[in-house]
């Protein structure tokens, strides 16, 4: 997408490599890389200059539902049905550590450029704040009544937006 002339430009690129449903997609803001999360316990690491998969990350015990890259560090975050958020080093392509403490699916994740924190949302209707360096939970929010399906940080301040499914009959 381009917008220097205030017009959006769409590009089409077909990448093949998945046989099951894609649950999440993120493009690195630092590198020409894209990551895709799928139902078969893995994350694919795509090099967009070569238009191919250069690595598959394995470590989740079930479907991977969400992913995010850190805006300034070479870190990939993945969350899944196995109740774990995993941290991966993009440079070395290795698993760094896992955030443990959920008893249900981790279905949303984000991080900020200036914070050494990771924020995760779950089917347990909770949001957890994690210390990226130490891998420990710092606090938990329990205000939602249903699964926290999506989250996004405010672009300028410390607020974030969360989404949960709430059915009223």
Domain harbouring 103, CATH code: 2.130.10.10
Q: Which one has a higher pLDDT value, 166 or 54?
A: 54
Q: With cut-offs at 50, 70 and 90, classify the pLDDT of residue 26.
A: very high
pTM of the model: 0.83
Judge whether 169 lies within some domain. Answer: no
| Residue (of 62, 54, 59) closest to 91 by Cα position | 54
Question: Half-sphere exposure of 123 toward its Cβ, with a 13 Å CA cutoff?
Answer: 13
d(C-alpha 36, C-alpha 21), whole Å:
10
- Is 41 inside any structural domain? yes
- Give the integer Cα–Cα distance in Å for 144 and 76: 26
Asked, for residue 156, whether it belongs to a domain, the answer is yes
Would you place residue 18 in the very low, low, confident or very high pLDDT band (cuts 50, 70, 90)?
A: low
Domain-embedded: residue 9? no
Range of the domain at 55: 22-164
Q: How many domains does the chain have?
A: 1
16 within domain boundaries: no
| pLDDT reading at 4 higher than 70 | no
User: What number of CA atoms fall less than 13 Å from residue 8's CA on the CB side?
Assistant: 3
């Amino acid at each position: 997408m381009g917008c220097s002339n205030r017009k959006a430009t769409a590009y089409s690129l077909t990448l093949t490599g998945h046989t099951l449903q894609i649950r999440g997609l993120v493009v690195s803001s630092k590198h020409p890389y894209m990551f895709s999360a799928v139902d078969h316990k893995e994350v694919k690491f795509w090099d967009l200059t070569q238009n191919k998969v250069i690595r598959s990350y394995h470590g989740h015990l079930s479907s991977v539902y969400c992913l995010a890259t850190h805006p300034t560090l070479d870190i990939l975050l993945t969350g899944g049905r196995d109740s774990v958020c995993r941290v991966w080093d993009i440079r070395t392509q290795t698993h760094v550590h896992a955030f443990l403490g959920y008893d249900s699916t981790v279905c949303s994740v984000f991080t900020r450029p200036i914070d050494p924190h990771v924020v995760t949302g779950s089917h347990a209707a909770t949001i957890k704040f994690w210390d990226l360096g130490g891998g420990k939970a710092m606090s938990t929010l329990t205000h939602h009544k249903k699964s926290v399906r999506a989250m996004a940080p405010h672009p300028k301040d410390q607020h974030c937006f969360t989404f949960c499914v709430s059915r009223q009959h």
